[in-house]
């Protein structure tokens, strides 16, 4: 059972790191801004569904092994709902309404949320592996 929790959490961690530091950065360096922006806008809802689904699944397995890890994974899932349903639409509105200051503030918040998710998943990986 611990192996399953570790694998799902590793998938969550790796997927978030790859998307945040790989895919998104690559898109903005490889494509013109007028193409990259709409592509990222279409990709983020899927990213958030991945984060939500994998954190819920990992949390359901972890609840039997380590309640603290399950709580962290539940927090990741809950804040992902906020990011997908509230924060992302607000960022898109700020972009559409040409409000660069508001966009910058909201985008920074989304980056902080994602970094917290990555740190939380890393912490769970270490807990479940017995390293902490």
Of the pLDDT bands very low, low, confident and very high (cuts 50, 70, 90), residue 35 is very high
Closest CA to 59 of 72, 46, 78: 72
Helix axes 100-129, 88-96, angle to 10 degrees: 160
Q: How many CA atoms lie within 13 A of 119 on its CB side?
A: 6
Report the predicted TM-score, pTM, of the whole model to 2 decimal places.
0.94
pLDDT, one tens digit per residue, over 96-119 is: 999 999 999 999 999 999 999 999
Phi–psi pair at 84, nearest 5 degrees: -75, -40
Q: What gap in Å lies between CA 69 and CA 55, rounded to an integer? A: 10
pLDDT at 89 > cutoff 80:
yes
> Is 89:44 a contact under the CB 8 Å cutoff?
no
Judged against a pLDDT cut of 70, whether residue 132 lies above it is answered with no
The DSSP line for 109-127 is HHHHHHHHHHHHHHHHHHH
Mean pLDDT of the chain: 96
- The tens digit of pLDDT for each residue in 42-74 reads 999 999 999 999 999 999 999 999 999 999 999
């Amino acid at each position: 059972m611990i192996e399953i929790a570790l694998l799902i959490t590793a998938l969550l961690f790796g997927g978030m790191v790859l998307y945040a530091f790989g895919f998104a950065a690559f898109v903005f360096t490889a494509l013109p801004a007028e193409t990259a922006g709409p592509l990222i806008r279409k990709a983020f809802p899927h990213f958030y569904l991945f984060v939500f689904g994998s954190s819920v699944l990992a949390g359901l397995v972890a609840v039997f092994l380590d309640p603290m890890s399950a709580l962290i994974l539940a927090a990741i899932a809950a804040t992902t709902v906020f990011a997908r349903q509230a924060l992302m639409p607000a960022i898109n509105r700020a972009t559409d309404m040409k409000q660069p200051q508001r966009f910058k503030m909201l985008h920074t918040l989304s980056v902080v949320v994602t970094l917290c998710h990555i740190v939380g998943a890393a912490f769970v990986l270490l807990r479940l592996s017995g390293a902490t």
